[in-house]
Structures are given as C-alpha cells and as structure tokens.
Homo-oligomer: A and B are copies of this chain.
Amino acid sequence: MKHVKWLSCCLLGAAVFAQAPPADTLVSPEVHPDRRVTFRLRAPKAAEAWLVMDYMPAGTRQPMTREGDIWSATMGPLEPGVYIYSFQVDGMTIADPVNPNVKLRARTSASMVEVPDTPPAIWEPRDVPHGTVEINWQKSKVINGETRWIWVYTPPGYERDPKRRYPVLYLFHGANDTAGGWTLAGHANFILDNLIAEKKAVPMILVMPFGHALPYGSSGTLTSNTDLYEKYVLQDVMPLVEARYHVAPGRENRAIAGLSMGGGQALTIGFRHLDLFSAIGAFSAAVPTEFEKEFTSLLADAKQVNARLKLLWFACGRQDSLFERSQKLADLLAASQIKHTFRPTEGAHVFKLWRRYLSEFAPLLFH
C-alpha cells in the first residue's frame, strides 16, 4: 500500500541492509505533485523502449527517450486512480523491474502505479474502520481436485457479533487476472470500508473466486469457461461461503457482479439463477454474444424478470472496444421492457473505471 513512499524514499541514500541490497536506486514510477508520472528503465544496451499503459488504444505505445543508460517517459497529468503499465524493450514485454507494485496476473507481466487524490478518493485507504480480506483454500470438487483460493472481504466489526448476518456480493475479476485482483488492483476492500463509514452502502461480504475454470490461454472459449465456472461457483464456492461465513439467507441477500470476462459471467450465471440472485452488476462486460439466444424465453417474460431482479446495473466506457456489447444489451433490455440501468461513461477498459463502477454499484444493493 505504501509503494509510492518506499520508492520516493529510495532517493535518500544507499542501502545498508546486510542482505539483498537493492541493485539499483533508480526511481520508477515517480508520481509528481501535479499528477504527471515519470517512468524509468535502466536498459544500457537497448535499441528501443516503449511504455504501454492500460488506457492507451490497442496497438499504441509511448516512445521512451534515452539519457545515458536510463530510458524515460513522462505522462499526464493523469486523473487520480490506478494505472497498469509495462515496458516493451527490444521485443520483450516486461514489468517495471524496480516497481514492487506488481499486477498479479494469470500470465504476462505488468506493474501498477497509484495516482492519489486529495482528499483521498473513495478507493484509497482513509482513516476509517477497515474490514479484512480472508484467503480461503479449498480443494475443488468441480475443477480437477485443484486446491484453489477464494478471497473474501468481511466488513468492519464482522468478527465482533457472530449472530449478525450479512448480505453477499459475489464479485468476479476479468480475463488474465487472479482472485486477488479486486483487492490488490481494485481496492474493493477500501471502497467498501469507505462507503460503509459514510453509510452509503450497507455492510456486506464480498466473495472473490478465481474466474479461470479452464486454464487461461487454453483452447476453451469464454462460454465453456463460464459453464465450468458456474458449476464451480455453485458447487464449491457457495457451499463454503454459506457454511463458513455469517451470511443472510436467501436470494434477497445475494448479488452477483463482475468486470470484463467476470461481467459476462455475472450476467450469464445471474440470469440462469434468478432463484439465487436478486441483483446483477456488469462492468465493461464481455456480454456473451449468445445472450439473446440463451435467454429468449426470459426476455419474453419481463414481468417475471422485473419482479425478481431488484437491480440490473451495467456500465461501460465509450472508449472500450466492448462498449457496443453493453449498448446492444441496453437496447435489447429496453425492447424487452426489462428494467435496468445502463451507465455509459468516458474511459477505456481499465481498473480505474471499475473502482468507480463498484463505488456506484455497491450503494444500490440490499435495500
């Protein structure tokens, strides 16, 4: 959490630790007071180096300029939030070698930089009571006997009153992410801490499983992954959650949401199980192309869907290549007279938006 501070302090002096001294006192990234950010890479023999950031249109990249052994690029001023980036150097795509704020992924390397706001944004740690995030390990019955982890946020005070029951939001990550993504990159825990402190959201549990049921990069499709993942969520994850945590019973107290691939999963699993979930959220979702076909009969029964779904909320940035899918879903739902909220925003396919979306979505739940 204090990565920025660690790095800025590296300017102060050489390491004197007995073990594993830093090989390099280079500072990268450096967040300037005006919210410009300088990225640096020591690459003495490189012929070329580029910076790639998550908000840049696909295929574009920022050339870095060389001074001695150091390549650098300065971007911004950038809006407060998180940015994911990597370097492309001589045909390799690498994380920033000196930035400890690594973006954990299912594959490929990247780093993160946090541009703070003043006062701290809703996704930054504030001086409020903090919930905890628990990592549960479980041998899956559904997925090859794999020992998989499930990250679970419990709100402040959860442990103090075992008789109190909490509603649950199942919250899914995107393709090439991990079960830790909503915590480490999304700051879902801080967002809920802050919303709860402001009484803008009711205290709730977040359940964050690992969304790749088929190995990432395998020959499976998003659809076949969702089918297996649905079984996993229903037969492994939900029983663990209902047995271990103090959850309020019934569909009224259960919501499902996700981002990108996870948004598609939330829409599919949510619509397949209106018996289990009363609210659905989808952020920059990979809306399944077969959505209309799969749910033809539900789409023809707006009365039933509207009676059961207390909330159907989705959002997408206009600069996201998936925007059309959300727009098409909105049109389909409107034509079918199914109640929903579609929030088109500015922005690309980035975590910075997903934090905003969660902070808008969570307050609407469980009233």
Interface residues of A (CB under 8 A from B): 1-2, 5-7, 9-10, 12-25, 41-47, 69, 89-95, 97-98, 100, 102, 104-109, 125, 127, 130, 132-139, 146-149, 159, 162, 174-176, 178, 183, 189-190, 212, 215-222, 225, 244, 260-261, 286, 322, 349
Bound form: Cα–Cα A19–B47 in Å: 30
Bound form: Cα–Cα A43–B91 in Å: 6
A45 touches B91 (CB 8 A): yes
B9 touches A215 (CB 8 A): yes
Closest chain B residue to A174 by CB distance?
Answer: B19
Partner of A22, one of B42, B135, B149, B176: B176
29 contacts between A and B (CB under 8 A): A1-B148, A2-B147, A2-B148, A5-B215, A6-B215, A10-B107, A10-B218, A13-B219, A14-B219, A16-B222, A17-B175, A17-B216, A17-B261, A22-B108, A24-B93, A25-B217, A41-B92, A43-B90, A45-B47, A45-B91, A95-B95, A100-B104, A125-B139, A127-B139, A130-B137, A132-B137, A134-B134, A137-B189, A137-B190
Bound form: Cα–Cα A104–B104 in Å: 9
Contacts of A222 in B (CB 8 A): 16-18
**Chain A's interface: helix, strand, loop or mixed, by majority?**
loop
Contacts of A244 in B (CB 8 A): 159
A133 touches B130 (CB 8 A): no
B125 touches A147 (CB 8 A): yes
B91 touches A2 (CB 8 A): no
- Residue among A18, A105, A148, A221 having the largest count of chain B Cβ atoms under 10 Å: A18
Listed from nearest, the 7 A-B pairs whose CB atoms lie closest are: A13-B219, A9-B215, A45-B90, A125-B147, A44-B91, A130-B137, A10-B217
Q: Within the complex, what minimum Cβ distance (angstroms) separates A97 from chain B?
A: 5
Contacts of A104 in B (CB 8 A): 100, 102
